[in-house]
Amino acid sequence: MGAFSDVAGSVKSSQKLINLLKGHVSSSPHSLHPVIAGPHIPEERWPNTALLPTQLLEKATHNVLKNKTIAFPAMCYGPDDGDPRLLRNVASWLTKFYQPADPISENRLCITGGASQNLACLLQVFSDPIYTRHVFLVSPAYMLCFRIFEDAGFHTRLRAVPEDDEGIDIDFLERQLEKSEEKAKADGNDEPPLKPSRPWSKIYKYVIYAVPTFSNPSSKTMSLKRREQLVRLARQYDALIITDDVYDFLQWPSSLTTKTLSVDKAVLPRIVDIDRYLDGGADREGADGFGNTASNGSFSKICGPGLRTGWCEGTAKLAHGVSQTGSSRSGGAPSQLTACFVAETLETGELQRYVFEQLQPIYGARYRKMVEAINTHLIPLGVRLPQADREIVGGYFIWLTLPHSLKGANFAQRAKDEENVVVAQIQVPGDTEGSGTSFENDIRICFAWEDEDMLAEGIKRLAQVIRRMLDEHTVNNDDTSLVTAANKPSQDAKDFW
**Which residues contribute to the site for ligand PLP (CB under 6 A)?**
45, 114-116, 142, 211, 216, 244, 246, 298, 300, 305, 310
Tell me which DSSP letter residue 39 carries.
B
Least gap, CB of 184 to ligand PLP (angstroms): 29
Contacts of 108 (CB under 8 A, 6+ apart): 91, 313, 314, 315, 316, 319
Nearer to ligand PLP, 298 or 420 (CB): 298
Least gap, CB of 149 to ligand PLP (angstroms): 13
Nearer to ligand PLP, 244 or 344 (CB): 244
Residues 349, 214, 312, 95, CA torsion sign: positive
| Residue 382 zone, left/alpha/beta (φ > 0; ψ -120 to 50; rest) | left
Residues 22, 28, 30, 31, CA torsion sign: negative
Nearer to ligand PLP, 106 or 245 (CB): 245
* Cα distance between residue 321 and residue 294, in whole Å: 11
Least gap, CB of 112 to ligand PLP (angstroms): 8
Least gap, CB of 305 to ligand PLP (angstroms): 5
Nearer to ligand PLP, 295 or 300 (CB): 300
Nearer to ligand PLP, 216 or 360 (CB): 216
Nearer to ligand PLP, 209 or 237 (CB): 209
Residues 488, 494, 496, 497, CA torsion sign: positive
CA 450 to chain centre: 19
Q: Which residue is nearest to ligand PLP (CB)?
A: 45
Nearer to ligand PLP, 192 or 304 (CB): 304
Residue 369 vs residues 215, 257, 406, 455: alpha-carbon distances, Å: 20, 11, 25, 7
Q: Are 252 and 261 in contact (CB under 8 A)?
A: yes
Q: Are 168 and 139 in contact (CB under 8 A)?
A: no
Least gap, CB of 142 to ligand PLP (angstroms): 4
Beta strand segments in 251-303, E: 251-253, 293-298
Q: Are 376 and 196 in contact (CB under 8 A)?
A: no
Least gap, CB of 114 to ligand PLP (angstroms): 3
Burial label, 397 (beta-carbon count in 10 A; 0-12, 13-18, 19+): buried
Nearer to ligand PLP, 297 or 489 (CB): 297
- Cis preceding-peptide flag for 429 (omega within 30 of 0): no
Least gap, CB of 116 to ligand PLP (angstroms): 3
Least gap, CB of 213 to ligand PLP (angstroms): 10
Least gap, CB of 139 to ligand PLP (angstroms): 13
Q: φ and ψ at 145, to 5 degrees? A: -80, -20
Nearer to ligand PLP, 216 or 425 (CB): 216
* Cα distance between residue 105 and residue 397, in whole Å: 32
